[in-house]
């Protein structure tokens, strides 16, 4: 029997120590906001926080967590940075299909926590391991900037011709 602190609540779970945290969260505890994407820690859909740090829950054995606090998408809005990110996500209209968004929001919130005013390079580095099949990367960056600064920036994209030059 393992004891986990998830979103501020204690959970006793009777699972194998090598079971990935993702499946404990979804199938044992019943928190389905964290998504399965690739199963090899490459897409970011399964991102949660472990003591405030972004981790990929699909490959994290639950037995390695110990006394660390787990925060999932269900509770990230209870933190100041999580509130800012969620508000910006709505203001900028980031979501298309929505499947990757829990992981995107978790990674963005961890970024703001460690870097309250991130540069474009900081955002790109922090979010590079989160894949969005809908391609909302420009909106994700704009939402993170808005959450950091409180200002909504105009979305800008550069359209290029097939030859690689601007029309």
pLDDT interval class at 152 (50, 70, 90): confident
Residue 159 has pLDDT above 90, yes or no: no
For the residues 124-130, what does the mean pLDDT come to? 95
In the chain, CATH 3.10.20.30 covers 2-71
Q: Residue 167: its pLDDT value, please? A: 54
Length of the chain: 167
CA 149 to chain centre: 19
Contact 109, 86 (CB under 8 A): no
* Mean of pLDDT over the chain: 93
For the residues 8-27, what does the mean pLDDT come to? 98
For the residues 86-113, what does the mean pLDDT come to? 96
43 vs 160, higher pLDDT: 43
This prediction's pTM: 0.90
Residue 161 has pLDDT above 80, yes or no: no
In the chain, CATH 1.10.150.120 covers 77-149
User: In this structure, which topology does domain 2-71 adopt according to CATH?
Assistant: Ubiquitin-like (UB roll) (3.10.20)
Q: Where are any strands of DSSP class E within 7-81?
A: 9-13, 47-50, 53-56, 69-71
User: In this structure, which topology does domain 77-149 adopt according to CATH?
Assistant: DNA polymerase; domain 1 (1.10.150)
């Amino acid at each position: 029997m393992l004891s986990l602190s998830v979103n501020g609540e204690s959970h006793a779970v009777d699972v194998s120590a090598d079971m990935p945290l993702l499946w404990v969260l979804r199938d044992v505890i019943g928190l389905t906001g964290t998504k399965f994407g690739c199963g090899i820690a490459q897409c970011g859909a399964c991102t949660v926080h472990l003591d405030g740090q972004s981790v990929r829950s699909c490959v994290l054995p639950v037995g390695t967590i110990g006394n660390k606090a787990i925060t999932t998408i269900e509770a990230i809005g209870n933190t100041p940075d999580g509130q800012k990110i969620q508000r910006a996500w709505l203001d900028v209209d980031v979501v298309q299909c929505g499947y990757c968004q829990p992981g995107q929001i978790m990674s963005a919130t961890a970024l703001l926590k460690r870097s309250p005013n991130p540069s474009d390079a900081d955002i790109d580095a922090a979010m590079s391991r989160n894949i969005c099949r809908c391609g909302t990367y420009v909106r994700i960056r704009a939402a993170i900037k808005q959450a950091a600064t409180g200002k909504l920036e105009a979305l800008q994209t550069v359209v290029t011709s097939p030859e690689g030059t601007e029309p």
